[in-house]
Amino acid sequence: MARVLVMIPSGEVYDHDNVRWYQHSDVQGNMDHYHNIGDAFVFDSSLKLMNYEKIAELPIMHLDMDHIDRLREEYDYVILRGSNYVHQHMDWTNAIPVLKRLGLPVIAFGIGAQAPVQGQLQLSEQTKTVLKIIADSTVSLGVRGAYSAEVMNDIGIKNVRIIGCPTAFRRNEPGMKITLPPLEEVRTVGITIRREVSPTYARDIERYLTFHRDLVKEMAGRFDATLMAQGEVEEKKLVFGTMEQKEEAIAALKANKWAADWYLDETVERLYRTRMFYSDVVADYENLVRSKDLVLGYRLHGNLMALANGVPSIYFTYDSRTVEFAETYQIPKFDIFAGGTFRLEDYWDQSLFDKYNQAWHRTYGEMQRFLTENGVAHKMLETGQMADPVRRVA
């Protein structure tokens, strides 16, 4: 049973290995704060794969080296929650002096790189240094997919293992498979929505939002649909807000040129008012997806939560991050910028999900080997496959 420090957590831990947002019961206090609850999915899932007796946050915001020295004696290793850290705007604050002073292994739990729409990814010297400190502290550094592995190789980090994301394995069932029911039996559908997007990563905002709008309308017109938000302020107000706050949210959406011109028509507004779901508690999302026959849409971790519970999901890819996840797991995907028309019938094909089942099983094994070779006490079961060496990117 290990003693674990967490670098950059995303929420508070309760009942040993469950995560919810900080002060989650203070609904009004959190109302105007944007936080992506999908990050908490990853944190929660990481905890569910590990065996530990004690957990605490590794502070990097305020330097206190005496405190860091005490932590070195009290804890065994650090986990870095998997997220999109490898991009040109990442600020690691005091991570370099803290990690050097701490001297403990840092387990990079499926971190990823984000490619800009134009030009090459430019990383700061701070980011390169942090990543090299982490890689040098362990047998392997865990990344979410092939693109992230290539970025690591480009900065001289060779000991990379592609492990995807802990969320995919949170049930710890190595025999998990997606088996499609007949499409005519599908009744309840979750639509993971992401209205806000950066033009740095999505190259055509009009196409992104108009396709998003049409997908929501089509699925809601065909099935008993729930819109699954993950933290945008206006969507959150429509779930938790007072009547006044709900109207403020709709007014803000209508005042937003992108939303008003390309997204929020009368049908979407009605669905926003009547079918929206949001929670600051990870378990609430898991309970929701278990009640669905299908979950699809724009949210990477919302979709992955469904797949982790045996519920079919289809990804709509729009940036390097969503493409990388879909490729790692061979998840059926539709590129919204490639043109063409999405037809659910074209994706309701067991052979497509058999490819996912095989890739999921293979990546489960990679995650299990990653934790084992880095000395992390964990609950993951053996898959029966022979262990492969740490991937060395040519």
Task: Give the separation between CA 15 and CA 159, rounded to whole angstroms.
Answer: 35
Residue 19 has φ and ψ, to the nearest 5°, of -125, 140
Task: Give the separation between CA 152 and CA 128, rounded to whole angstroms.
Answer: 9
- pLDDT value at residue 383: 66
- pLDDT value at residue 384: 58
Domains of the chain: 2-173+361-373 (3.40.50), 183-355 (3.40.50)
For the segment 186-191, the average pLDDT, to the nearest whole number, is 98
Would you place residue 201 in the very low, low, confident or very high pLDDT band (cuts 50, 70, 90)? confident
Would you place residue 390 in the very low, low, confident or very high pLDDT band (cuts 50, 70, 90)? very low
Residue 178 has φ and ψ, to the nearest 5°, of -95, 120
Task: Give the separation between CA 362 and CA 288, rounded to whole angstroms.
Answer: 27
- pLDDT value at residue 79: 97
How many other CB atoms sit within 10 Å of the CB of residue 222? Answer: 11
Task: Give the separation between CA 272 and CA 234, rounded to whole angstroms.
Answer: 10
Tokens of 148: 């992230």
Residue 18: strand pairing partners: 14
Q: Could you read off the pLDDT of 15-64 as tens digits, one per residue?
A: 999 999 999 999 999 999 999 999 999 999 999 999 999 999 999 988 89
Task: Give the separation between CA 198 and CA 204, rounded to whole angstroms.
Answer: 10
Would you place residue 381 in the very low, low, confident or very high pLDDT band (cuts 50, 70, 90)? confident
Tokens of 159: 């000991």
Q: Could you read off the pLDDT of 297-327 as tens digits, one per residue?
A: 999 999 999 999 999 999 999 999 999 999 9
Residue 146 has φ and ψ, to the nearest 5°, of -65, -40
Q: Could you read off the pLDDT of 214-255 as tens digits, one per residue?
A: 999 999 999 999 999 999 999 999 999 999 999 999 999 999
For the segment 248-273, the average pLDDT, to the nearest whole number, is 97
Count of residues making up the chain: 394
Distance of CA 244 to the CA centre of its chain: 32
- Closest C-alpha to 234, from 224, 225, 245, 226: 245
Task: Give the separation between CA 313 and CA 332, rounded to whole angstroms.
Answer: 8
**pLDDT at residue 263 greater than cutoff 50:** yes
- Closest C-alpha to 28, from 244, 302, 287, 253: 244
> What 3-state class would DSSP assign to 316?
strand
- Tell me the percentage of the chain whose pLDDT exceeds 70: 97
Q: Could you read off the pLDDT of 146-162 as tens digits, one per residue?
A: 999 999 999 999 999 99
Q: Could you read off the pLDDT of 76-98 as tens digits, one per residue?
A: 999 999 999 999 889 999 999 99
- pLDDT value at residue 116: 86
Mean pLDDT of the residues in the chain: 94
Angle separating helix axes 266-274 and 205-222, nearest 10 degrees: 60
- pLDDT value at residue 385: 44
> Are the C-beta atoms of residues 163 and 110 closer than 8 Å to each other?
yes
220 by Cβ neighbours in 10 Å (0-12 / 13-18 / 19+) ranks as buried
Instruction: Give the type of residue at 315.
Output: Y
**pLDDT at residue 392 greater than cutoff 60:** no
Task: Give the separation between CA 245 and CA 228, rounded to whole angstroms.
Answer: 19
Residue 56: strand pairing partners: 5
The whole model's pTM is what? 0.94
- pLDDT value at residue 202: 87
How many other CB atoms sit within 10 Å of the CB of residue 283? Answer: 14
> What 3-state class would DSSP assign to 226?
strand
Q: Could you read off the pLDDT of 328-349 as tens digits, one per residue?
A: 999 999 999 998 899 999 999 9
Sequence-ordered alpha helix ranges (H) in 276-386 = 282-290, 300-308, 320-329, 344-347, 350-373
Task: Give the separation between CA 47 and CA 63, rounded to whole angstroms.
Answer: 26
